[in-house]
Amino acid sequence: MKLTVWTYEGPPHVGAMRVATGMRDLHYVLHAPQGDTYADLLFTMIERRDHRPPVTYTTFQARDLGADTANLFKTAAQGAYDRFQPQAIIVGASCTAELIQDDPGGMAETMGLPIPTIPLELPSYQRKENFGADETFFQIVKTLARPMERTKQITANLIGPTALGFRHRDDIQEVTALLSDMGISVNVVAPMTSSPQDISKMGAAHFNVLMYPETAESAARWMEQELDQPYTKTVPIGVGATRDFINEVAKITGKDAYLDTSRLRLPWYSKSVDSTYLTGKRVFLFGDGTHVLAAARIAQDEMGFEVVGMGCYNREMARPVRAKAREMGIEATITDDYLEVERVIEALQPEMILGTQMERHIGKRLGIPCAVISAPVHVQDFPARYSPQMGIEGANVIFDTWVHPLVMGLEEHLLHMFREDFEFHDAAGPSHHGGHAPKPEDGGGPAPQPAASPRSLSGKMNEGSVIWLADAEKELKKIPFFVRGKARRNTEVFASERGVAEISVDTLYEAKAHYAR
Amino acid sequence: MTELPRLPTAGGCRETPILKQRGQREVFCGLTGIIWLHRKMQDAFFLVIGSRTCAHLLQSAAGVMIFAEPRFGTAILEETDLAGLADAQDELDKVVDELLARRPDIKQLFLVGSCPSEVIKLDLAKAAERMTQRHAPSVRVLNFSGSGIETTFTQGEDACLASMVPVLPKTDDRQLLLVGALPDVVEEQAIGLLEAMGIGPIKVLPAPRADSDLAVGPNTVYALTQPFLGDTHDALTRRGARHLPAPFPFGEEGTTQWLAAIAAEFGVSPDLFDQVTAAPSARARKAIAQAAEALNGKSIFFFPDSQLEIPLARFLTRECGMDAIEVGAPFIHKGIVGPDLDLLAEGPTISEGQDVDLQLDRAKTAKPDLTVCGLGLANPLEAEGLATKWAIELVFTPVHFYEQAGDLAGLFSRPIRRADLLKLEATE
C-alpha cells in the first residue's frame, strides 16, 4: 500500500484508451464499474475532443458481483459491435474487473464476432498508463500487421502518437514535413489517425519512425523482428536531435540527408546578444523520459543553461535518463512521487524548472519560473495554434516557451539597478506577465512566498544549522527574487563547508565571490 | 403565510411511471464528493483505499488539478496487498500512522472504500474502530464507501454524512438541523433567514470542525438542503430525528416552500414569514426573470448525474418557462424529491438509471434546446449542435436560496446566449 497525493500517470487501461481514442473504427470494451467512465472527460474536456472515446464500459454494480458479471460483459460486447460496427475490438479489464477474474479476453474470443478481437492483459496493480498504451498498441500491431510487399517509393510509418499526448497532433505534421523534404512519404501514422485496416498495411513501409518510445517501443521492436523494418532511435526534439534524426533517416534509406533550415530561428535567437543572460541559468528537468532527455540536450547545448538536476516519472526510461544524468555530472531523480520531486527542487533551488503541469505548481509555490515540456497534460497543453515540439518549428516553439517565464536580460539588469524603486521592483515579476506577479514576502522585502502546503505531508523539515544575521538577511533581500534562492543556498553551503555558524554580510559576499563565474 | 404553490392542473409527476433501463452509465462514482467535502470540513482528511484509478479520478474529476493543500489522498493497493503477501489491515495502519504523524492538524479521518477495496472485502469499519481507539481522543476515524459499484457521484456525500450520524452525541434539546454541504456564504444566508424568523438553535451537518457541539435526538427536526441525502435521512430518522419534507431550495418558489415547511414546524406567524422573505424573494424573482428571458419556451433534457435533476426541472419549468423533455436521475428517492415531483407538471419522461447509448438516441431525436449532462458527453453533444450545460458545475457553484436563484438560472441561460452570440461567418 502506498500513500499517493497526485499521480503522473493514470492506470494502464487509460493508456489503452489513449490508443483506442486516437484510432478510428476500433472499439474498446472495458469490463469496469460505472465510476471508471470518468476517463471519458480526459479526452472530451482536456483535449476538447468532439466525440466520445470509443469505449463501452460494462458498468457492473455491487449487486452483480454475486450473480453474472460475465454475461454482462458479453451483452456489452455484442451491443458495442452491433451499434458501432468497428473493424476490430480490443477487450480488457480495469482494476476492479481484474479482481473478479472474468477473463474478458477469453469470453470475447468465444463470442465469434466477425472481426478481430484483441485481448489485453494490463496488470493494474503493477503497471501504469504508458505501459498500457505501449502494450495495447503492440497487441494491435501484432494481431493485424503482416509482412507484405513494400511500397515502390520509400515510405515510413510514424508510430507513437496517441490521444491525450503532449503535442502529438502537431508533431505528426512536423515529422511528416521533415520526411517529405527528403522525398519520403508517410505510409501509416499510428495509433493516432489510423484504423485497424491501416494497421494491417503497416508492413508496406520501409521503416518506422519511433516518435515516442513511451507508447510504441514494443511495437517498433516487434516490427523490426517480424516485418524487417528498422526504426529510428533519435527523437527529433531540438536542433541537434533533428539533425541527427535526418542523418539517421538518410542512413536507413540511402537517401541524401536534407534539412530545410530556412524557418529555423532557435540558433540565431540563442546566439543573439540579448540571450546572453540565459548563460548558465540553473535548470531542473522533469517529465517523461523522452522529453527530459531531449530537453537536457537542448538546455545544455542549444540554450546554454546549466542542468542542475533531472529525472523522469516513468521507470521504463530510468536507464537512459540515469546515463544522461551521469554524463552531465548530476544524479537523476527517478520517482513518481510528486512530493519527492518537490523536495529535490526545493533543495536544488534552480532558476527555472522545465517540467510537467505538476512542477508548474511546485514552481508557483517556490517562486521559480516553470515551462512545461511533457505530459501529464492539462487543457493548456492543447493550444489552438500550431505548436509542435519536434523538428524545425518545434525548436522555435521550445525557444519561445522556455524563455517566456523568465525575466528578460535587460530587465534583469534594470531590476538590479533600481531594486529599491517602489514600482519597478523585482516582486513585480517579469513585465510581460500581467497579473502573475509573485506575492511579496511579509516584512517588506519583495519575494515570492514559499507556501507551506503539502510539504507538511512530506514531513521533512529544514535541518538549517546555519543562522542568518539580520544584516545579511536584509542584504539577501536586495538580491532579485529570481536569483535569491540560489544565493541563499550557495551561501549556506559555503558557510557550512567552512564551519561558519553565522552568516554575515561578509559571508554573503565571500560566497558570491567564491561562486562567481 | 405565503400563498400555496399552484399545483399543476393536469397533475404532477409523482405517479408518472419511471423509465428504467440498464446498460452503460456515464456518471462519476461517489469518490468525487471528496473534492468538495474536504474543503467543507477543515480538520478532516479523506483517505481513499483503492487503486491508481481512484487517485487519477480525484485528480481529474474537476477537470483541473487542484494542487493547493490536498486534504485527501489515496492508499494505493499493490500486488502484495492483493496476493495476501501483506496483511492489508497492517499496511493500512502503517499508512495512517504515517499520515497522522505528518498531519497533526487532522481531527477526523475518513477511510473511504472504493471498488477494489469492496471487491476484496477489506473491512474498513473494523479498521476505523481499531484506529479510533488507537488515536483517541485526538482523532476520530470513520469509514464510508465511495465505490463506483455502490455509489453514484453525489451519493458519496450522502455516504459520508450518514457515517457521521451514528457517532453524534445524543441531545434531547429542541433544535433544527440543516443537512448537506453547502458553500459557507449560502449556508449563512439560510441560517440568517431562519434566525430572523426566530427559529433556533440551528445546527448544520456536516459541521466545519470535529469538535463542534453537534448532537442529535428525538426533539431534533431536520431539513435537507440537497436531494441526494437518502442514507443520511434514514440514519437521522434512526436517531429519532424527524424530517421536514419540502421542495428543495432552488429558485424563489423552492426557497419559499422550503422555508415555509420549517416555519410551519416552528409556528412562525405568516406576517413574520412575509416580513423576512418579502425583500429577498422579490429580488430573486427579478433576477430569475432577467436570466429566464433566454430560457422561456426552450426545451431541456437531463441526463442523470447529481440527483439534483428533479428539483432543477421543477425550477426551470415553473419559474423559467422551460419545457422538460426528459428528466433523468441516477436514483429517485420519492420520500425526498416527492414534493418536487408533485410540482413538476406531467409531460416529461422521468427516467432512473441509464443506458447511455439509448438515452443519447432519445436526446438526438428530441433535439432539446439545452441538454444537462456530464463532462464526458458535453463536448460531443455540442459538436452535434446541441447546447449543453455540464452538470458538475451545479454541485460546485453556490445555487441554493434566494440570492443565488438568478445565478442558477444564469447557469442554464449562458450556454443558450452564447450559442446566439458567436458569429463566425463572413458578414455577407
How far does Cα A254 stand from its chain's mean position?
Answer: 33
Q: Do A3 and B78 touch (CB under 8 A)?
A: no
CA distance linking residue B208 with residue B205, whole number of Å: 8
Three-state secondary structure of A299-356: HHHHCCCEEEEEEECCHHHHHHHHHHHHHCCCCEEECCCHHHHHHHHHHHCCCEEEEC
Three-state secondary structure of A127-157: CCHHHHHHHHHHHHHHHHCCCCCCCCCCEEE
pLDDT one-digit tens code per residue, B320-349: 999 999 999 999 999 999 999 999 999 999
Q: Which residue has the higher pLDDT, B395 or B321?
A: B321
Cβ contacts of B48 on chain A, cutoff 8 Å: none
With a cut of 50, say whether residue A186 has pLDDT above it. Answer: yes
Per the prediction, chain B carries an average pLDDT of 92
B 227-286 residues with CB < 8 A to A: none
Nearest CA-CA distance, residue B163 and chain A, Å: 19
Mean pLDDT, residues A320-349: 95
B192 and A CB contact within 8 Å: no
Query: Model confidence at A445, in pLDDT bands (50, 70, 90)?
Result: very low
pLDDT one-digit tens code per residue, B286-299: 999 999 999 999 99
Q: Do B379 and A44 touch (CB under 8 A)?
A: yes
Mean pLDDT, residues A51-64: 92
With a cut of 50, say whether residue A457 has pLDDT above it. Answer: no
CB nearest A1 (choices: B27, B92, B357): B92
CA distance linking residue A170 with residue B176, whole number of Å: 59
Q: Do A95 and B51 touch (CB under 8 A)?
A: yes
Q: Do A95 and B52 touch (CB under 8 A)?
A: yes
CB A279 within 8 A of CB A252: no
Which cell numbers in the block locate residue A405? 517565464
Which cell numbers in the block locate residue A214? 513511451
Cβ contacts of A357 on chain B, cutoff 8 Å: 65
The pLDDT assigned to B62 comes to 58
This model of the complex carries an ipTM of 0.93
CB A31 within 8 A of CB A99: no
3-class secondary structure, A27? strand
Mean pLDDT, residues A510-514: 83
**Spatial strand order in the sheet of B202-205:** B202-205, B175-179, B220-224, B242-243
Cβ contacts of A3 on chain B, cutoff 8 Å: 47, 73-76, 95, 98-99
B25 and A CB contact within 8 Å: yes
Q: Do A33 and B148 touch (CB under 8 A)?
A: yes
Q: Do A35 and B24 touch (CB under 8 A)?
A: no
Mean pLDDT, residues A82-89: 97
The pLDDT assigned to A6 comes to 85
Nearest CA-CA distance, residue A141 and chain B, Å: 26
The pLDDT assigned to B306 comes to 93
Which of A450-454, A493-497, B246-250 is the least confident region?
A450-454
Mean pLDDT, residues A413-435: 59
Q: Do B73 and A45 touch (CB under 8 A)?
A: no
The residue of chain B nearest to residue A38, with distances taken between CA atoms, is B28
What phi and psi, each to the nearest 5 degrees, are found at residue B299?
Answer: -100, 155
Chains A, B: CB contacts within 8 A come to 202
Residue A274: active-site member: yes
CA distance linking residue A111 with residue A102, whole number of Å: 14
The pLDDT assigned to A330 comes to 96
Cβ contacts of A2 on chain B, cutoff 8 Å: 75-76, 78, 95
Q: Which of A228, A274, A421, A506 is catalytic?
A: A274
Burial class (CB in 10 A: 0-12, 13-18, 19+), A103: middle
The pLDDT assigned to A506 comes to 87
Provide the residue type at A331 as one letter.
Answer: E
Q: Do A4 and B26 touch (CB under 8 A)?
A: no
With a cut of 80, say whether residue B37 has pLDDT above it. Answer: yes
Q: Would you put residue A265 in left (φ > 0), alpha (ψ -120 to 50) or beta?
A: alpha
CB nearest B380 (choices: A4, A44, A123): A44
Mean pLDDT, residues B153-165: 96
